[in-house]
Amino acid sequence: MKTIDESGVVRISRQGSPAVFEYISETVVAPKEYEVLISQKAIALNFVDVLFRNGSFPLNKLPATLGVEASGIVEAVGSRVTEWKIGDRVAYYFSLGAYAEKRLIHQDQLIRLPVDVSFDEAASLLAKGLTARMLVKEAYSIQAGDTILVHAAAGGVGSLVSRWAKSLGATVIGTVGVASKKALVQSQGVDLVIALDSEDTIEKVNSFTKDQGVQAVFDGVGKATFGISAQVVQKRGTVVLYGGASGTPQIDTAYLAAKEINLVRPTLSQYLPDKQSLDTAVEELFEAFRRGVFGEIKPTSYSLTDVAKAHQDLEAGLTTGSIIFHP
């Protein structure tokens, strides 16, 4: 097999704490017939990376290179690749193996990057933005006049959901883990921000809504917040449970049934089953970005050699917004 280069790679040989990461150099081989070699310019840190690393999600084999999202430039193509050429700007949002300077990927997993979207913006937006679009347009279709609650409103997905919901005419209540993050979320136009570490969320929501509750809750936190979500949503309202950053919640199905709560547990694959649906979603996402729905995209950046530190900071709740690595 022909070798064409060397690449810095972050891999794990076992699952566990951030200490399992190691930065090594690997040989890069020429692309197979349907593969593309990418020189990566920005690599995203998503919470799913933590779940793969700590053992919550299984890995088919070890050693493994984590990361599922990045953007970059095509450096080489396989003999049967027709859609991509050397020099194309591309991105992808769910393909394991992203923590690398260069990587091989199947041609069908790539998305063409518009010239007005930078590599950093793409890596900050693609997976989280597609998730946000799914949440506000499909899992629960936000209507003007709705009042909603968004947990982890300072986070990568939560901040995008909050901004997109505001652009659709909703009143947005957001929670943050610590009071020090309130000012950031308030500056993004959220109508009421509640700090979970120092305020009573149920009391605050009831006071703000005059005991009417909210039409929908977007909960990516899970165990620590789901009980609150179920209590503050209106009778016949919707709770969208799209993640479990704090763990998997215990769900009182009898309580949900008594309040006639619609519980939705969406996944991107469910709403993006084919290339046509993906192309439509990506275009809507980039159009919202161009309209300024998300404001200025300013990710927190780390070197690829500092993956362990970034994971530690994310798990400790020290970060806000999107996190990316630069090779």
Encoded tokens for 51? 């779940």
Contacts of 200 (CB under 8 A, 6+ apart): none
- Residue 218 to residue 135: CA distance in whole angstroms: 8
Domain positions in the chain: 3-113+297-326, 130-269
Encoded tokens for 121? 């913006």
- Residue 102 to residue 122: CA distance in whole angstroms: 17
Contacts of 49 (CB under 8 A, 6+ apart): 66, 67, 68, 311
pTM: 0.94
Beta bridge partners of 7: 26
- Residue 146 to residue 137: CA distance in whole angstroms: 13
Contact present, 187 and 295 (Cβ < 8 Å):
no
pLDDT in the model for residue 3: 67
Angle, CA of 283, 288 and 290, to the nearest 5°: 95
The parts of the chain modelled with pLDDT lower than 50 are none
pLDDT in the model for residue 4: 72
% of the chain at pLDDT higher than 70: 99
- The yes or no reply on domain 3-113+297-326 and CATH 3.50.50.60 is no
> 130-269: what CATH class?
alpha beta
